[in-house]
């Protein structure tokens, strides 16, 4: 991605929680004991993992929406949400969409939206596949 123009940009890597745990365990294993060492208590773990690579900062985030064995690298600042309307409970003519259900004690409510996710730099997105823990 660096050779396609992704220089000095922060990217986010979304991984499955199992792969994220493997990365965290690997980082904990490499940790050296420094002045923060205490005989009484051992603290380990992290909320996020961050590396510095050719392009800049690489932040690794666990997501349950990522299938195991896959990872997605994205430059989040390149994404825009486009569309003609946000999520709304009003119809285009301005009337409410609440309706009393016929023959039942209840109300029906509908919402609508017209949006899409767009990136101006498709080379700033990458999918990694076949990730296996050793």
Show me where the domains of the chain are located. 2-31+44-128
Partners of 17 in the beta sheet? none
Beta strands in the chain (DSSP E): 11-15, 49-52, 57-62, 71-74, 79-88, 99-100, 107-108, 112-119, 125-128
Say how far apart CA 124 and CA 18 lie, in whole Å. 25
Percent with pLDDT over 90 in the chain: 12
pTM of the model: 0.68
40-85: pLDDT as tens digits = 766 666 677 888 888 888 898 989 999 999 999 998 888 899 988 8
């Amino acid at each position: 991605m660096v050779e396609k123009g992704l220089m000095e940009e922060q990217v986010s890597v979304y991984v499955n929680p199992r792969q994220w745990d493997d990365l965290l365990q690997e980082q904990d294993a490499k940790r050296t004991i420094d002045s923060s060492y205490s005989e009484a208590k051992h603290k380990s773990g992290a909320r996020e993992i961050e590396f510095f690579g050719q392009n800049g900062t690489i932040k690794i985030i666990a997501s349950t929406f990522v299938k195991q064995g896959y990872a997605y690298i994205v430059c989040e600042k390149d994404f825009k949400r486009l569309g003609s309307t946000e999520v709304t409970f009003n119809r285009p003519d301005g009337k409410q969409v609440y309706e009393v259900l016929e023959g039942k004690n209840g109300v029906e409510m509908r919402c609508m939206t017209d949006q899409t996710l767009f990136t101006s730099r498709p080379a700033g997105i990458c999918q990694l596949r076949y990730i296996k823990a050793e």
